[in-house]
Amino acid sequence: MVHEVKGVVARSKGQPVTVETILVPDPGPGEALVAIQACGVCHTDLHYREGGISDDFPFLLGHEAAGTVEAVGEGVTNVAPGDYVVIAWRAPCGECRSCLRGRPWYCFNSLNATQPMTLQDGTPLSPALGIGAFAEKTLVAAEQCVKVDRDAPPEAAGLIGCGIMAGFGAAVNTGNVSRGDTVAVIGCGGVGNAAIAGANVAGARRIIAVDVDDRKLEAAKRFGATDTVNAREQDPVEAIREMTGGNGADVVIEAVGRPETYEQGFYARDHAGTLVQVGVPTPEMQIQLPLLELFGRGGALKSSWYGDCLPTRDFPILIDLYKQGKLDLEGFVSETIPIDAVEDAFHKMERGEVLRSVVVME
């Protein structure tokens, strides 16, 4: 059976997204059909629409989702119909060179559904990050579905599927923020604020939030920032150094995805400090740094793909932190919107009005 459902499609570069009828097949071997309950609007969806990720239009957008498994294909054992799940964009294959070396969080061949979802005329859709969840139903590899506790409502739980996990993991997994560290986070959208929350849970002694928008800096304080810097009013490198005894932060997390903020992060570190890049740049961006500074400052320059998470390990941990009151998932939800308001939500994101708009299905 083929399911005719509504989905949000980016048909061509830079054009407004549209709600279209899409065709979703029943799950084949290893696949799961998920009825989406909620899906957050992440900056990466906008990158897709802008052609910044690839040219494989048309895209079926949406990738921060929670829902209920409706059907599973042959051989699926990890989930069953009726299970409440968060969908992950990493499902380690267990067979690639990275999985075989015991580093499945870098899996180079993450699992996705094999059957395509299509437009009504049969044109195959490219689901964003192998998910495509601004849709009433989506088809994924069953291994992408991580069963979680129903105590977290879908509009909050879904955000774990991308932005919150990416930011939290950038601090805790990639940056290895530990008790007593000083941390600076540049860019305090959904991802940056999740990094702040992660640093807070990990026991950082000072957490400096940097943004160009005071509304984001106010939010950052709620997630555990001890200090804030508006980069339009103060030089962030000088401010971070000043707030860390003249030294710079032990860990800096760049959550904007621009050369100038990367460079600020590079210089705002203490000697032997770590810079974690979680913001996603676009193909034309370049950076130039003196090689001697790279050598002389030492430490580590890392990028964080999805917070180096293992979804089956990390999603339930974040839900438990939420239940303990240590991770305010609802604090990331600025508004809930219907499926036809995604384009508007992109503009609100660009104007800095929201941390997350979350599509909630009727």
Ligand X SMILES: NC(=O)c1ccc[n+]([C@@H]2O[C@H](COP(=O)([O-])OP(=O)(O)OC[C@H]3O[C@@H](n4cnc5c(N)ncnc54)[C@H](O)[C@@H]3O)[C@@H](O)[C@H]2O)c1
Q: Tell me which residues touch ligand X (CB under 6 A).
A: 42-44, 47, 162-163, 166, 186-192, 210-213, 216, 231, 255-257, 261, 278-280, 304-306, 349, 352
- DSSP per-residue codes, 131-167: T--SBSEEEEEGGGEEE--TTS-HHHHGGGGTHHHHH
Cα separations in angstroms, 179 against 200, 208, 235, 271:
9, 15, 27, 18
Q: Which is nearer to Zn ion, 93 or 317 (CB)?
A: 93
The DSSP string of 50-115 is TTSS-S-PSEE----EEEEEEEE-TT--S--TT-EEEE-S----S-SHHHHTT-GGG-SS----SS
The answer to whether residues 189 and 166 touch, using CB atoms and an 8 Å cutoff, is no
- Distance of closest approach, residue 68 Cβ to Zn ion, in angstroms: 21
Q: Which is nearer to Zn ion, 101 or 351 (CB)?
A: 101
Residue 107 sits in the site that holds Zn ion (CB under 5 A): yes
User: Inter-axis angle of helices 259-267 and 236-243, to 10 degrees?
Assistant: 30
Residue 208 contact, options Zn ion, ligand X, none, Cβ 5-8 Å cut-off depending on partner type? none
Match 């999805």 to its residue by tokens: 306
Binder among 66, 111, 125, 162 for Zn ion (CB under 5 A): 162
Q: Which is nearer to ligand X, 173 or 304 (CB)?
A: 304
Shortest spacing between CB 115 and ligand X, in angstroms: 26
Which is it for strands 145-147 and 137-141: parallel, antiparallel or unpaired? unpaired
Binding partner of 280, given ligand X, Zn ion, none, CB within 5-8 angstroms per partner class: ligand X
Distance in Å, CB of 2 to Zn ion, minimum: 28
**Residue 191 CB, nearest approach to ligand X (Å):** 3
Q: Give the nearer residue to ligand X in terms of CB position, either 27 or 127.
A: 127
List Cα–Cα distances, 29 to 190, 223, 232, in angstroms. 35, 42, 53
Q: Closest approach of Cβ 16 to ligand X, in Å?
A: 18
User: Which residues in this chain contact Zn ion in the complex, by CB under 5 A?
Assistant: 42, 44, 92-93, 96, 99, 107, 109, 162
